[in-house]
Amino acid sequence: MIATGWSWYVIALAALNIFGLVWLLWYTAKRRPGDPGPEETSHYWDGDITEYNKPMPRWWIQGFYLTIVFAIGYVLWYGGLGKYAGISGWSSQREHALDKAASDANLAVTFRPYDGRPIERLAGDPQALQLGRSIFANTCATCHGSSAQGAIGYPNLADDIWHWGGAPDRVLQTVLDGREGVMPEWGPVLTSMGGDNAIDYTVAYVRALGTPGQSVQNDYLAAQGKKLYDGVCVACHGVDGKGNQELGAPDLTDKYWLYGSSKESLRQSIAKGRHGVMPAHRDLLGETRARLVAAYVWSLSQPAATKAAPTDTPAPARP
């Protein structure tokens, strides 16, 4: 009902505009009794410049009428009156679908040689890597940066640290189906266990885990934080803080911090939690393009492996 009402509103507005244009042309094209003659406006400048009041040529007026007739025919043929389709049945949605199908067919020819190829082999193929790099630039660089080094909240893909696993099949799974990493809000729980300073204690212990050679026993805050860590955090990050790639729980013993390593940033992560989402790209890219971009991403952290990887991928056919 609402769509029909809006359609009639559009129809009425279009009809009013067309009628108004026709009336304006008709009204201004005629001379009326009492109008001054074409050369009797009495408007003079510099003694020899006179303003005339001559009507437009008849062919010009007829041309305007023809454009109005053309506009009416165009709207009736192609549609432009709300939800009502034109006589031809044409729609921009259908036109886009046809263009997309043709483009997808061309792309399929280009990507067909790489269908089902192992990530390791694609990573050793310069042509495959070039395609993967292009797909990355168009799809992934918005979040991870053109150099794939990420930003606060967006992982660095150029190092060898992987929260969800860096094996080729794990990287491909991440691209295809996405990931959702959730760090719960532990502030109230920790405070109930260790008092008002519980967050600071936990932060101190977590920072100590990532500082080689630092003795937790000699640091009062870290020692208190270990008790809290063992009671709450160990379930995901492990006894030794090495994390759990099945859950996306980061390794707390390395020097990489997705949301920053400052005390304030860690306080925010522990007290308020974090929620990171890597969107699934299966529907957007399809299997083969996802495989190519996964090979490119994997290659960034495996330079030696990619150089040694055998290539058996033929040159892509051109449409």
Please check whether residues 188 and 41 belong to one and the same domain.
no
Residue 80 is given by DSSP the state E
Residue 85: give the domain boundaries.
Answer: 2-90
171 and 288 fall within a common domain: yes
Contacts of 108 (CB under 8 A, 6+ apart): none
CA angle 167, 176, 273 (to 5 degrees): 80
When pLDDT is cut at 50, 70 and 90, the band that residue 215 belongs to is low
Could you read off the pLDDT of 133-146 as tens digits, one per residue? 999 999 999 999 99
86 band by pLDDT with thresholds 50, 70 and 90: confident
- Work out the average pLDDT over 18-36: 84
H/E element, 227: helix 220-232
Q: Examine residue 81 and state whether it is found in any structural domain, yes or no.
A: yes
In-domain check, residue 49: yes
In a domain, 79, yes or no: yes
- The whole-model pTM stands at 0.70
The reply to whether 27 and 156 lie within a common domain is no
> Does one domain contain both 289 and 260?
no
Q: For position 319, what pLDDT does the model report?
A: 38
CA distance 318 to 110: 6
Asked whether residue 114 falls in the same domain as residue 64, the answer is: no
pLDDT score at 262: 93
**Mean pLDDT confidence for 35-56:** 76
Ordered alpha helix ranges (H), 30-83: 58-78
- The CATH number of residue 170's host domain is 1.10.760.10
Q: What percentage of the chain has pLDDT greater than the value 70?
A: 92
Residue 63 lies in a domain: yes
Q: Can you tell me the mean pLDDT for 50-77?
A: 88
Domain match, 109 and 197 both:
no
C-alpha distances (whole Å) from 254 to each of 38, 198, 250 are 90, 23, 9
Count: domains in the chain = 3
Does any domain span residue 213?
yes
At 318, the pLDDT band (50, 70, 90 cuts) reads very low
Let me know whether 208 and 141 are in one domain.
no
Average pLDDT over residues 56-81: 90
What CA–CA distance (Å, rounded) separates 154 from 140? 11
Of 36, 56, 90, which marks where a domain is finished?
A: 90
CA distances from 223 to 17, 144, 174, 228 (A): 79, 36, 37, 9
Short-list 77, 105, 81, CA closest to 18: 81
Tell me the three state secondary structure of residue 79.
Answer: strand
In a domain, 316, yes or no: no
Considering the domain architecture, whether residues 270 and 296 belong to the same structural domain is answered as no
| 107's tokens | 């792309």
Is the residue at 160 inside a domain? yes
Q: Which residues pair with 275 in a beta bridge?
A: 182
Taking residues 256-281, report their average pLDDT.
Answer: 95
Token pair 């053109």 is found at: 146
* Structural domain ending residue among the three candidates 90, 119, 136: 90
- Condensed to tens digits (0 to 9), the pLDDT of residues 279-290 reads 999 999 999 999
Answer yes or no: do 196 and 274 share one domain.
yes
In a shared domain, residues 261 and 284: no
What are the structure tokens assigned to 119, written together? Answer: 């990530």
One domain, residues 301 and 159:
yes
170 & 291 share domain: yes
Question: 154 lies in a domain?
Answer: yes
CB 190 within 8 A of CB 275: no
Residues 284-300, mean pLDDT to the nearest whole number: 96
Give the H or E element holding residue 308: helix 303-308
Does residue 40 surpass a pLDDT of 80? no
Rounded Cα–Cα distance for residues 270 and 272 (Å): 6
Note the pLDDT tens digit of each residue in 216-252: 666 889 999 999 999 999 999 999 999 999 999 999 9
Domain boundary among 56, 90, 124: 90
